[in-house]
Amino acid sequence: MAMKQEESSRTRRARDVAAWHDEADVVVVGFGAAGACTAIEAAETGADVLVLERSGGGGGTSAISGGLLYMGGGTPVQQACGYEDSAEEMFRFLMAALGPEPDEAKIRLFCEHSVSHFHWLESHGVPFKRSFYPEPGLEAPTDDCLVFSGGEDGYPFDRIAQPAPRAHKPQYPAAAGGFLMQKLVAATERSGAKIVCDARTDALVVEDDGRVTGIVARHDGRERFVRARRGVVLTAGGFIKNEEMVAKHQPRIAACSFKLGVDGDDGRAIRMAMAAGAETIRMDAAEVALPLTPPRRLVRGIVVNRHGQRFINEDTYYGRVGQEALLRHDGHVYLIVDNAIYERNAIGFEATFVEETIEELERSVGLPEGSLQATVQLYNRFAVRGEDPVFHKGTALLQPLVSPPFAAIDCRPDKVLWATFTLGGLHTRTTGEVLDPDGGEIAGLYAAGRTTSGIAAYGYCSGISLGDATFFGREAGRNAATTGRGDKA
């Protein structure tokens, strides 16, 4: 029971707080990309800012990511690389790719101010090389910047919006999440925000009228009460590292071997807010990546489910392939290739079964009799003409499977790497205000980043998390800083 008590995220009453150990206008909980941008913007708006980070330093999950930021509408990098884009095309793409029913107001704001957000990041020390890298989906292994990261140039999106690459990687010769966070931590320090690390926030402090006016943190082994004169902003990540929450909200992703996050992604900030009456939405939403590529040539093969059926254009964003494969086909999928296509996948996927005919391969894999044969026959019939009437894979990657031997790569979650993280969380306005289930705001409480349900309602593209976290972190920081100053109606 003592354990339980200590771990509770129930709210504390302001009337019971004997003394405040510290105070600030804006208290930011968590110091990843969202927290840093919240703090910078709040400080630059004139607020006195305190950032509390549970681990030993700034970074969070942002620092272990690839560092891609989804931005568009005609950024200097897009222009330098010869890609035309507009806020409207970006909006149309994101509304289609991030749904069903994504938050239209958030996506609208995100797109309209994307170019200025790019400039804001550069002006705060994050450099972007004016270059394009042709392998889509993932950050470049070089210091190049721009990639296609959401299947923009393939079916069905190329029919919905003018394709443009929009994922921007900071100029660093590898995965750039750590580099990005170095720059954002430095900018936060320059902004004048006070940063306290090794301080785990346990609960919100609430007035009798429901207004959030502080937090309780554990620091140096003691409980500290910190008053927030204008607002508390929760930017403490998602809940992918909380097994119980995953089991309760999206049990299917538990099978994925790579749960992308740091220990702090235990959903605590979400639970703290729920204790104050906040609403959570889309808690079942998750990104699920099945990284078939690189090399890109492998998607000349076909991905089939346990019924031997294809279910998607294999050349689309691998995060879409993974979501469909896990959430609609129970992760029971195989990549089928022939000798002309096969090559060892960059992260180690290897042929599980190799046979001289499709019929034998079907039997070895244990697919239903006739199923894979029918699928390959139909696929080949049109692939020879560069067509794929069923799933619309692009002509460039259409190639009939005719060169023996044929191979199947068993892609089930217990066989190869699948990467996942949660997308659901607190329901917020574009301003970062946290909402209750009736649609009213919880006064004094804001959130951004993976603690919230952001622009990715269900669908996803690489770069959305950092794009969303940095952009709406700034919105939350500016709005929290102006609360109670009469700047708002």
* 3-class SS of residue 377: helix
Q: How many whole angstroms from its chain centre is CA 104?
A: 18
Single out the residue of 56, 82, 221, 389 in contact with a second copy (rule: CB under 8 A): 389
Residue 252 interacts with a second copy (CB under 8 A)? yes
* 3-class SS of residue 363: helix
Which of 196, 216, 274 lies closest to 17 in space, CA to CA?
216
Single out the residue of 427, 429, 450, 474 in contact with a second copy (rule: CB under 8 A): 427
400, 387 contact by CB (below 8 A): no
Residue 4 interacts with a second copy (CB under 8 A)? yes
Separation of alpha carbons 349 and 411, rounded Å: 8
Separation of alpha carbons 325 and 316, rounded Å: 13
* 3-class SS of residue 232: strand
- Please identify, using beta-carbon distances, which residue of 120 and 391 lies nearer to a second copy: 391
Strand 433-435 to strand 441-447: parallel, antiparallel, or no bridges (unpaired)? antiparallel
Q: Which stretch binds a second copy (CB under 8 A): 7-15, 71-79, 146-154, 163-171?
A: 7-15
What is the crossing angle of helices 104-112 and 464-482, to 10°? 90
Q: Which stretch binds a second copy (CB under 8 A): 94-102, 117-125, 131-139, 462-470?
A: 94-102
Q: How far is the CB of 440 from a second copy (least distance, A)?
A: 6
Q: How far is the CB of 281 from a second copy (least distance, A)?
A: 5
Stretch 146-185: interaction string toward a second copy, x if CB under 8 A: ----------------------------------------
Q: How far is the CB of 317 from a second copy (least distance, A)?
A: 18
Separation of alpha carbons 74 and 83, rounded Å: 8
**441 phi, psi to nearest 5 deg:** -85, 155
Q: How many H-runs (helices) and E-runs (strands) does the chain carry?
A: 14, 21
Residue 488 interacts with a second copy (CB under 8 A)? no
Residue 414 interacts with a second copy (CB under 8 A)? no
**85 phi, psi to nearest 5 deg:** -155, 160
- Please identify, using beta-carbon distances, which residue of 134 and 156 lies nearer to a second copy: 156
Side-by-side strand order, sheet with 334-338: 302-304, 334-338, 406-410, 353-355
- Please identify, using beta-carbon distances, which residue of 192 and 251 lies nearer to a second copy: 251
Alpha-carbon torsion, ordered 325, 330, 331, 332, to 10 deg:
-110
- Please identify, using beta-carbon distances, which residue of 59 and 237 lies nearer to a second copy: 237
Residue 244 interacts with a second copy (CB under 8 A)? yes
* 3-class SS of residue 13: strand
Residue 280 interacts with a second copy (CB under 8 A)? yes
Residue 6 interacts with a second copy (CB under 8 A)? no
Residue 350 interacts with a second copy (CB under 8 A)? no
**Tokens matching residue 37:** 């941008």
Q: Which stretch binds a second copy (CB under 8 A): 217-225, 301-309, 338-346, 347-355?
A: 301-309
Residue 374 interacts with a second copy (CB under 8 A)? yes
Residue 370 interacts with a second copy (CB under 8 A)? yes
Q: How far is the CB of 156 from a second copy (least distance, A)?
A: 12
Q: How far is the CB of 12 from a second copy (least distance, A)?
A: 11
Residue 328 interacts with a second copy (CB under 8 A)? yes
Separation of alpha carbons 305 and 296, rounded Å: 20
**Tokens matching residue 172:** 């660093």
Catalog residues that contact a second copy under the rule CB under 8 A: 4, 7-11, 13, 99-101, 208, 210, 244-245, 247-249, 251-252, 267, 270-271, 274-277, 279-284, 307-311, 328-329, 368-371, 374-375, 377-378, 381-382, 389-391, 427, 436-440, 457
